[in-house]
Amino acid sequence: MSYQDSELPSPKEMTNNQKGAIGWILLYAIGIPVPILLLLFLIRGCT
């Protein structure tokens, strides 16, 4: 399988994923406990 054959996410999809990750990191940085973040992650549907 060559690099060109694999399906890569579009730049827009990557940006959306990065924005979501930054949001979770910010919540952790302001002091939200990890178990609460995990609960929220599961409630949101793991998206």
Instruction: Look at 1 and 15; give whichever has higher pLDDT.
Output: 15
**Would residue 16 be called left, alpha or beta, if left means φ above 0 and alpha means ψ between -120 and 50 degrees?**
alpha
What is the reported pLDDT for 13?
A: 64
What is the reported pLDDT for 39?
A: 92
Is it the case that residue 23 has pLDDT exceeding 60?
yes
Q: What average pLDDT does range 24-37 have in this prediction?
A: 92
Is it the case that residue 5 has pLDDT exceeding 60?
no
- C-alpha distances in angstroms, 10 versus 23, 41, 47? 20, 24, 17
Distance in angstroms (rounded) separating the CA atoms of residues 39 and 20: 16
Q: What average pLDDT does range 19-42 have in this prediction?
A: 88
Average pLDDT, the chain: 77
